[in-house]
Amino acid sequence: MTVNVLFSASPALWPVYEPLLTNGLTEAGVDFRLGTDFEPDQVDYVVYAPNGGLQDFTPYTRLKAVLSLWAGVEKIADNDSLTVPLARMVDHGLTQGMTEWVVGHVLRYHLGMDQHITVQNGNWTPDAPPLATERQVCVLGLGALGKATAHALAALNFNVTGWSRSAKDIAGIACLHGEDGLRAALAEAEIVVLLLPDTPATVNTLNSETLALLPKGACIINPGRGPLIDDDALLTALNSGQVGHATLDVFRVEPLPAEHAYWAHPNVTVTPHIASETRPVTAAQVICENIRRGEAGEPFLHLVNRDLGY
Ligand code: NDP
């Protein structure tokens, strides 16, 4: 039977994904129709991103699964009208991009790149940076992105501690979990990377209490989601020097409003949610594989636990 695949994401992406999904589904041997406009009760799979505008899944009575193009699913995970499986995006290209972005920003802090630019102004302070073996980096979140990032940092010889909800055993990474684990991880962290999802349990993971646990002058890199950090607490910690610098890619409100204190703060770097993005070529392969699996009666990849919100 022909399966109908609705593409419900930014219209600008349709010309990019249409040939990729067509090729992938054809190669997967799926009998399909692909489009941006079906009668809701005729749709079998939705390829989804929030900017496609679809919010009410009630009329989608034949739906088998929603396949998110985004890794973060906080905008759909609690949608009560969605009663079929929801898969999120785990994409090699997205992961590689995030790894590169985080490693770059960790190295900026580690090597003191900003300070040494002042050499151009005649400031000759010949202090070589420490080695990575002498630097403690903490990655909050050890999922698809956090684990790959932690591995990349460990491969550069950083001392990497990772923190997750469940206990883990990852070679080369000191893995901690739970509230005590967070406290222990932050107490030593000179650089903190946030790669947690936005869920009710992760809101304000960094707040006045947890920021106070950090060694004075620690740096923060947040490519996860804005609500992971209590913004007022971070600004207070930046102003007191408890936090030395923060690189923030994600915010509670995006685009970050022009009047937000982060824009003007000398110890904050704002980037416009570009740490990484879903890469169409590799992401389309993931979507097609999940549709193939659905039609073959095999379990879907990367299912979201709706109770946990990620
Ligand atoms: P995953 O779901 O694979 O991993 C999430 C990790 O967070 C897991 O290790 C999980 O623990 C941990 N976690 C979840 N809840 C808690 C909690 N309450 N306490 C401690 N740890 C917790 O997600 P990804 O790695 O694929 O992505 C992470 C986030 O990155 C996305 O949700 C998204 O918000 C963000 N992102 C940002 C992008 C950008 O450009 N800025 C691009 C893409 C994603 P456990 O392993 O035990 O389940």
Over residues 39-97, the pLDDT tens digits come to 999 999 999 999 999 999 999 999 999 999 999 999 999 999 999 999 999 999 999 99
Residue 7 CA, ligand 1 centroid: distance in Å: 25
pLDDT classification of 118: cutoffs 50, 70, 90: low
- In this structure, the residue with its CA closest to atom 19 of ligand 1 is 165
Instruction: Give the CATH number for residue 160.
Output: 3.40.50.720
Nearest one of 12, 68, 61, 5 to 31, comparing CA atoms: 5
Residues 139 and 264 in one domain: yes
pLDDT classification of 122: cutoffs 50, 70, 90: confident
More confident residue, 259 or 120: 259
- pLDDT at residue 270, as a whole number: 98
Q: Ligand 1 in contact with 144 (CB < 6 A)? A: yes
Residue 85 CA, ligand 1 centroid: distance in Å: 19
Q: Is 305 inside any structural domain?
A: no
d(CA 159, CA 143): 18
Residues 111 and 170 in one domain: yes
Residues 190 and 110 in one domain: yes
Which residue of the set 105, 110, 135, 225 is catalytic? 225
Q: Is 288 inside any structural domain?
A: yes
Residues 176 and 264 in one domain: yes
Q: Which long-range contacts (CB under 8 A, 24 or more apart) does 233-236 make?
A: 233/204, 233/206, 233/207, 233/208, 234/206, 235/261, 235/262, 235/265, 236/208
Q: Is 61 inside any structural domain?
A: yes
Q: Which atom of ligand 1 is nearest to the CA of 276?
A: 40
Residues 112 and 246 in one domain: yes
Q: Ligand 1 in contact with 112 (CB < 6 A)? A: no
Which residues span the domain enclosing 248? 92-270
Q: Ligand 1 in contact with 201 (CB < 6 A)? A: yes
Residue 229 class from Cβ within 10 Å (0-12 exposed, 13-18 middle, 19+ buried)? buried
Q: Is residue 136 within 8 Å of 189, Cβ to Cβ?
A: yes
pLDDT classification of 119: cutoffs 50, 70, 90: low
Q: Which atom of ligand 1 is nearest to the CA of 177?
A: 20
- pLDDT at residue 123, as a whole number: 73
Mutation to probe ligand 1, out of 68, 164, 222, 277 (largest number of atoms < 8 A from CB): 164
Q: Is 34 inside any structural domain?
A: yes
Residue 204 CA, ligand 1 centroid: distance in Å: 14
Q: Is 308 inside any structural domain?
A: no
Q: Ligand 1 in contact with 91 (CB < 6 A)? A: no
Residue 119 CA, ligand 1 centroid: distance in Å: 39
Q: Which atom of ligand 1 is nearest to the CA of 202?
A: 18
Q: Is 304 inside any structural domain?
A: no
Q: Ligand 1 in contact with 73 (CB < 6 A)? A: no
225 in catalytic set: yes
Q: Euclidean distance between the first and final Cα of the chain, in Å? A: 32
273 in catalytic set: yes
Residue 41 CA, ligand 1 centroid: distance in Å: 33
Which residue of the set 33, 273, 279, 292 is catalytic? 273
pLDDT classification of 116: cutoffs 50, 70, 90: confident
Residue 200 class from Cβ within 10 Å (0-12 exposed, 13-18 middle, 19+ buried)? exposed
Residues 80 and 119 in one domain: no
Q: Is 186 inside any structural domain?
A: yes
Residue 240 CA, ligand 1 centroid: distance in Å: 29
Write down the H helix ranges in the chain: 14-27, 92-111, 113-117, 144-155, 178-188, 208-211, 231-240, 261-264, 280-296
Task: Give the pLDDT confidence of 88-110 residue by residue, as tens digits.
Answer: 999 999 999 999 999 999 999 99
Task: Give the pLDDT confidence of 252-307 residue by residue, as tens digits.
Answer: 999 999 999 999 999 999 999 999 999 999 999 999 999 999 999 999 999 999 99
Task: Give the pLDDT confidence of 9-38 residue by residue, as tens digits.
Answer: 999 999 999 999 999 999 999 999 999 999
Residues 47 and 194 in one domain: no
Residues 123 and 247 in one domain: yes
Residues 76 and 221 in one domain: no
Q: Ligand 1 in contact with 310 (CB < 6 A)? A: yes
Residues 109 and 195 in one domain: yes
Residues 129 and 203 in one domain: yes
Looking at the structure of the chain, the number of domains it has is 2
Give CA separation, 188 vs 55, 155, 219, 272, in Å. 43, 20, 12, 29
Tell me how many helices (H) and strands (E) the chain has.
9, 12
Q: Is 307 inside any structural domain?
A: no
- In this structure, the residue with its CA closest to atom 36 of ligand 1 is 224
- Whether the ω angle into residue 255 lies within 30 degrees of 0, i.e. cis, is yes
Nearest one of 264, 271, 215 to 243, comparing CA atoms: 215
Residues 118 and 25 in one domain: no
d(CA 205, CA 10): 31
Task: Give the pLDDT confidence of 193-227 residue by residue, as tens digits.
Answer: 999 999 999 999 999 999 999 999 999 999 999 99
Q: Is residue 220 within 8 Å of 194, Cβ to Cβ?
A: yes
